[in-house]
Structure 1
Amino acid sequence: MSVFSKTHARALCRVVPAVLAAGLCACGSLDRATQGMADVLTLYRPETVQGNFVSKEQVAALQPGMTRLQVRDTLGTPLLTSVFHGDRWDYVFTLKRRGVEAQSYRLTAFFKDDVLERFEGDEMPSESEFVQRIGRERKIKVPTLEATEDQLAKFPPASEDAAQPSADALAAPVRGGSYPPLEPAR
């Protein structure tokens, strides 16, 4: 008589798919659970700054009638230039920080006969606003650089003889054009 009978085989054929299905469902639950833990346990996620930052001051410097070279000098190289839209430059900028919704800005410059015709896009932040957004407040404790009277009283005043080098030490020439040895001669 076989240890593995037909009854066992039928039961196994029913149990194995059920166990596999439960395992696959658990993978989805495990993925969701670990995703939540990953948000909590992530130690370092770098800030992502992509594209060309265009400030409010740079946009204010744009004037219709500028050449492509002048626009490039003012705004920098465009992030997107299309083969199909040769008279259009797109400047796109995104900033992603942990715990803050991603910020995205867009500016499009339109040219006609290699001269800036018009431009349109989002309201750009000024340079100082941008620095405030990416900067972090760092509280630096600056130590006091002056000694109090109580701290100075711990040290005896130096004698005037010790503070002034002897005349022989000042007049002694350096021998051989080099410094004297650090260790005394034996």
Structure 2
Amino acid sequence: MSAAYLGVQIRQTFKDRNAWPFCAYNMFNYYLTDCFQQARVVLITDRGHLVGPADPWALLPLEFFRVISVIERVFITCEDPHVRDDFCRKALHRLNTRPWRDWDEIRGSFRPPAGRRFVGVELHLVEVDFTRCDPTDRSQVTSVELMHRYDPEGAFARAGDQDLWRLLEPAATPAASGHPRP
């Protein structure tokens, strides 16, 4: 069993692929272009309070870089809405019933306001231009695409259109192509 695990790990390292629970250990071994894609999450409570747009790292009690691999697998690679809904339902249940604190590379969970619970989640794929977007403002992006909305109670519909994103015009010159990393 350990030989199979080691074989897969070596393959992932040489192929430069992250697929949880395997990691290519490429954290500092690639060049980021000026523009690339990232994931953002928006949560909503039973009273219509929005949390986000934010990085998805606090959705799962895993290292932040592993959360990205899970998000890729569930929301980019997989197109089955049942798998996506099941993931969202379980993530919201965990956030509402057993939150966790920051520890090492694990981000503390999203937390609803006191006495409230999260009832819906949206996952977005955004494009960020690092030459123009404010790195501290997770809502400032050049484009946004809704990947999935899980809203069994209709909370997002009741909240109406919210002005969540600060869209910048795309750059006049095309960015160098790079490997998109949500």
Bin the TM-score by the shorter chain: under 0.3
| TM-score w.r.t. length of structure 2 | 0.18
Max Rg structure: 1
Q: Which has the higher contact order (CA 8 A, sep 6+)?
A: 2
Higher helix share: 1
